[in-house]
Structure 1
């Protein structure tokens, strides 16, 4: 249902375009396309007051909106533009396929809207770490004096950024989800990175193979560098299978000592053996581990991936160091909340799957782990088996906590487990108090749930906020 690479701008004024979804990216695409003269209809299955308010706003700009029916293809549609979350098997898209109508996403539209002198894209995807790495990259590019922005899946609709004009930016740091890549067949980045691959969103993609294939689309047509994770062979396999421009290089990153065409770590220093004059004999110092906050192993890997993309764009080593020093991670990503009675309390509520939780648990030696929520079909045996030796104790809550409890019984039977039979938001305070009881001085109480939050909280941010508030209350009581 994709279209071939577009080499000339479409005649938007002659097109009838259906936009699927009345969310942020759908509204952005609808407004942009209508502004170019296209006839635009937005369809959405919702019909709430919020939907009606958004619809009224668009209708005031001459855009048709159909609420309550997201399955029927409007008559005369020439192109469907989908919001990222819509599944490929949606009835609307099946109807489009039957009618011979292409389906693309907002990223594809942004790519088609670029002018001949538009800023190159440095693109990032992966199961975990995308947002942090994209923000790190933008910070490094800015430290080099380049006009840049972190865009895409990170929150700023990329269509809006592209419409600012070819001369607005020198280069863009672009975070892309597997959903967005699925619907962006024409995308050709300057350089791109796949940080890691682990089972996620398989209900959307249908299989791990399909998920990996969509992630791998980010490498197609790369001009300078395909950056991959040496600790994750699946990312290297995607590079090997990519059709890139002649001269494009494979560049690995590793937490160990790098070889030629790699970035890595030597005695606490991040070094580059890829973008130096003689990569077989030389290494360029980029930054110290202490320049990366927080200096957890997976965050060092994020920094190396960001550095590789920046270096592929010609950024000097000093800008890598300065950009990493200036970067401040978002809340709820391995965020130190407080120390109470010589125990560190860390909020990694963003660890919503097992892969992210495994990376978080690997960053600490002695942990009281707070976990649970909606498992999204995940299994926990691998996570628990790899992390068992680090666990002082575990506190569980949430709808699918039994899955984690059973994995603990199989792989860490000696670890004390508190099973809170609760899914109310007040369970967080009880969890923190139980974790404090299990902990000893020098331990880390780590909220890394390995699950989604929606059984108890609006989102992972609210879950992290509840954890921080519980820790502050614990400190006030103990103080």
Structure 2
């Protein structure tokens, strides 16, 4: 960590009369355009797409006096003094290259929300990582609510930070999920405390390299006031803490699935314990909750719970609220969701496991497994995943456009595992995949949908893929 350097927050920004270009419509672009227009900016929205949804959003904004250009997101509008971009727009787009040439700053929606928050705004407890962000933020919000605090889970979780910052409701603290995209465009963000859950190769086509991806994740620690929470089992996250410049007195706090050292949270005899936020942490530990209070108690989900607990404890939340919040938490659909038991076989939907890191965590939670996997690889390789998980596999059923990559990895590292390779790529392939999995499974097995791939080759999103799996399981059990 930085040597006690105090980093100031963002300076006020007067939007009155400023020419601001908003790049992209959608969840973040529309609220950004409205907020800027309300503050006197001359707003132009540019958007690559020109579909029915975009046209409806454009009509709404034009009625307010906002200029909208559909189907042209590449050209920098004349006179632009600031760009506010949707988080997914890549840094290499011509619009941003032109902005760099012209010396025009680029903010994301998170940066805009940070700049627009009031002087008495709620502090942010921020979470990022390759996997587990949404679950951890939701756990954190549940813990904060159990402590009687007014809070909300916001950010990349689907609730606009702008809406939270500018809305009429007031909060004591916000639980904020941040993606690497959002962090890339948020230079002024200074969280009260923040956590990086894990780091594995992902979105490298967007960031350009693993180093750039990690650097953007590490931005979440800059200027932290109370605690930088890291994963003791993932050295990359600890390295990011070491490199961060933080406010004087900010602490590094680790979490581990083993016995915690001082300044860590961990697990002892089935109990989640805190050796960071206690008096004389070299000798004492505070019991927080039982492993059975975590739903579901898979190893990676226990790690999520420890990270959430660390952020809550950094904010002064009592131990009883950690326990009560974890007991109250219910995970979203398609995250290691138990669908049904049929003839002694469990069927589990983890469609949200869209990369190899998430799939590895999911596979580590069960044994033996009939694994349903495949989809869009996004440049990923599967040798390490298969090598680590081979001993847990009863069989594999492969679907999707890039299934051959997984099939080849299985041939190299688990040649004894039976593989069914389904060539069909229509949505009905899921019923066939589940039927094949049922044929291969034995009582006591788990049929696990943990694709390790994105879904868009066959489905609209991972939710639709998970729904198709659940529907197929129900059809088999009927």
- TM class by shorter-chain length? over 0.9
Match of 2:310 among 308, 311, 336: 308
C-alpha separation in 2, matches of 1:178 and 1:228: 16
Matches within 5 A, 1:366-381: 366-381=368-383
Look up the match of 1:49: 52
Quote how far apart the aligned CAs of 1:302 are.
Answer: 0.2
Q: Kindly tell me: are residues 79 and 435 of structure 1, through their superposed partners in 2, closer, same or farther at Cα, counting changes over 3 Å?
A: same
Matches within 5 A, 1:72-87: 72-87=75-90
Look up the match of 1:67: 70
Q: Mind listing any 5+ residue stretches in structure 1 that lack a counterpart? A: none
C-alpha separation in 2, matches of 1:8 and 1:53: 35
Q: Does structure 2 conserve the Cα–Cα contact (< 8 Å) formed by 1:6 and 1:112?
A: no
Match of 1:113 among 113, 116, 123: 116
Matches within 5 A, 1:202-241: 202-241=204-243
Q: Does structure 2 conserve the Cα–Cα contact (< 8 Å) formed by 1:270 and 1:286?
A: yes
- Secondary structure at 1:13's aligned position in 2? coil
Matches within 5 A, 1:424-435: 424-435=426-437
C-alpha separation in 2, matches of 1:88 and 1:401: 30
Quote how far apart the aligned CAs of 1:50 are.
Answer: 2.0
Look up the match of 1:438: 440
Look up the match of 2:184: 182
Quote how far apart the aligned CAs of 1:398 are.
Answer: 0.7
Q: Does structure 1 conserve the Cα–Cα contact (< 8 Å) formed by 2:265 and 2:275?
A: yes
Match of 2:288 among 283, 286, 311: 286
- Secondary structure at 2:16's aligned position in 1? helix
Look up the match of 1:163: 166
Match of 2:24 among 21, 24, 43: 21
Provide TM-score, normalisation by structure 1.
Answer: 0.97
C-alpha separation in 1, matches of 2:411 and 2:216: 36
- Secondary structure at 2:20's aligned position in 1? strand
C-alpha separation in 1, matches of 2:97 and 2:427: 40
- Secondary structure at 1:389's aligned position in 2? helix
Q: Does structure 1 conserve the Cα–Cα contact (< 8 Å) formed by 2:10 and 2:188?
A: no
Matches within 5 A, 1:52-451: 52-164=55-167, 168-451=170-453
Over the residues paired in the alignment, what is the CA RMSD in angstroms?
1.0
- Secondary structure at 2:103's aligned position in 1? coil
What is the total number of aligned residue pairs between the two structures? 472
Quote how far apart the aligned CAs of 1:270 are.
Answer: 0.3
C-alpha separation in 2, matches of 1:184 and 1:341: 51
Q: Does structure 2 conserve the Cα–Cα contact (< 8 Å) formed by 1:5 and 1:185?
A: no
Q: Kindly tell me: are residues 341 and 427 of structure 1, through their superposed partners in 2, closer, same or farther at Cα, counting changes over 3 Å?
A: same
Quote how far apart the aligned CAs of 1:49 are.
Answer: 2.3
Q: Does structure 2 conserve the Cα–Cα contact (< 8 Å) formed by 1:346 and 1:446?
A: yes
